[in-house]
Amino acid sequence: MKRPSAILAIASLLLLAAGSPHHRPLPRPPADLEPFVAGHTTFALDLHRRLAQPDANLICSPYSATAALALAHSGARGSTAQQIAATLGFPAPDDLQSALARIRASLTNASRQKQVELATANGLWAQQDYGFTGEFLQHTRDAFAAEAQLVDFTSRQDATRARINSWVGRQTRGKITDALPPGIPSADTRLVFVNTLYFKGQWASRFARRHTHNKPFRVAPERTVSVPMMRQSLVALYAESETAQIVELPYAGSGLSMIVLLPRSPDGLAQMEQQLSWNHLTNWMAAAQWRTVDLELPRFKLLSRLPLIPALSALGLTDAFDPAKADFTGMTPRRPLWIIFLHQCALVEVNEEGTTAAAATSGGLACSSQPRPATFHADHPFLFFIRDNPTGAILFLGRVTNPAQA
């Protein structure tokens, strides 16, 4: 008999939670924010699937990509605006600014917790003589808390690039210092928009370094590499099925968590990624219950530089990148103006104390009874995401196929 898939089986975990006196699911997003979070999660998973390469590590920030493109969306019109909204999963574009403002407020609140540092920022640099309307620039300041500045791309590209990279470096605490590579922006660039996201949090239950030992990690069913494996026993929200395990690892203050999804099969990650959805994640949140977990998690550090235009084009966002079709007349009446580059730099480092993660997305426009302890040994490829618990927003999403590769 064919075994059920790892993710479809998660839905059945709801039955395991029934009647458990220790059951307390992760909080759902507020009801009025849930359509936005559901759309955002769908976009996050779709983007991850487009960016993931076989047997390669990946870290990206769906939130940073959404926040950056929301800036562009505010100046888009017609089918360009409609495609951005549809691809990013905005259920009601008019409510986008309000939803992002609430998430920013939640992140600000989380940053007030001890042992947690969380900051997001928006920046916009516009060609000084191109005719961007004062209304548009003021709107980005008011609605997105963006730092909007006038610059000269035509004759001072290198100086402007250094200026933007310096701003990104400050916002990410020095973790990302070269968000714009040499040659970007060019003399044809008329506007650059950037979102940054920085997170540093300590585990609510830290790993003791003395318990970290080199152990094999199965990068493939027949091949292993030796990696530093952290270990501890803790009480955590946990769910399992015949083919998958899921555990929540909260950070200090419990406002944010890392969720680790581990297929039982060493080669089950690809199937899990293809089938994962908002509904599956919601079912897991409802099914998870407190368990004592014998946890093993590799220490790892990931860095990804991601061109986003191919992935977003494959998801249906095309007009914004086409000089013949792009409509950004909400920024300036001049046409054509289109997105000529859009990429993201993201990193994450996970160790015994906690997690440090940063991302910069930049774009440019040109002309029951206590059960026995559960065993959760992440010794083969797995998926993880860092979640803002009050809103449900996915801040970072990644896959670990080989912790030995930085």
Pairing of strands 146-151, 116-127: parallel
d(CA 333, CA 377): 57
The CATH number linked to 380 is 2.30.39.10
Q: Are residues 158 and 282 located together in one domain of the fold?
A: no
d(CA 146, CA 335): 24
Mean pLDDT of 270-275: 92
In a domain, 1, yes or no: no
Confidence of residue 93 (pLDDT cuts 50, 70, 90): low
Q: The pTM is what?
A: 0.89
What are 300-344's pLDDT values in tens digits? Answer: 999 999 999 999 999 999 999 999 999 999 998 876 899 999 999
Which of 369, 33, 349, 19 shows the shortest CA–CA distance to 175?
A: 349
Q: Are residues 116 and 247 located together in one domain of the fold?
A: no
Q: Are residues 132 and 68 located together in one domain of the fold?
A: yes
In a domain, 112, yes or no: yes
Question: Has residue 27 got a pLDDT over 90?
Answer: no
Quote the domain boundaries for residue 179. 48-201+301-366
Q: Are residues 71 and 194 located together in one domain of the fold?
A: yes
Confidence of residue 371 (pLDDT cuts 50, 70, 90): low
At 22, which helix (H) or strand (E)? Answer: none
The secondary structure of the chain in percent helix, strand, coil, rounded to multiples of 5, reads: 30, 35, 35
Q: Are residues 112 and 225 located together in one domain of the fold?
A: no
In a domain, 393, yes or no: yes
Number of structural domains found in the chain: 2
Q: Are residues 124 and 231 located together in one domain of the fold?
A: no
Q: What is the pLDDT of residue 303?
A: 96
Q: Are residues 124 and 53 located together in one domain of the fold?
A: yes
Q: What is the pLDDT of residue 11?
A: 31
Higher pLDDT, 222 or 52: 52
Question: Has residue 15 got a pLDDT over 50?
Answer: no
Q: Are residues 223 and 318 located together in one domain of the fold?
A: no
In a domain, 86, yes or no: yes
Mean pLDDT of 161-183: 95
Q: Are residues 170 and 247 located together in one domain of the fold?
A: no
Share of the chain above pLDDT 90, in %: 67
In a domain, 2, yes or no: no
What are 376-394's pLDDT values in tens digits? Answer: 899 999 999 999 999 999 9
Q: Are residues 157 and 249 located together in one domain of the fold?
A: no
In a domain, 12, yes or no: no
Mean pLDDT of the chain: 88
Q: What is the pLDDT of residue 3?
A: 40
Q: Are residues 123 and 245 located together in one domain of the fold?
A: no
Q: Are residues 168 and 65 located together in one domain of the fold?
A: yes
Question: Has residue 16 got a pLDDT over 60?
Answer: no
The CATH number linked to 119 is 3.30.497.10
Burial (CB < 10 A; 0-12, 13-18, 19+), residue 153, is: buried
In a domain, 75, yes or no: yes
Q: What is the pLDDT of residue 25?
A: 55
| Residues paired with residue 229 on neighbouring β-strands, in sequence order | 213, 298
In a domain, 5, yes or no: no
Confidence of residue 192 (pLDDT cuts 50, 70, 90): very high
Q: What is the pLDDT of residue 26?
A: 65
Q: Name the least confident of 36-40, 110-114, 149-153, 351-355.
A: 110-114
Question: Has residue 28 got a pLDDT over 90?
Answer: no
Q: What is the pLDDT of residue 151?
A: 94
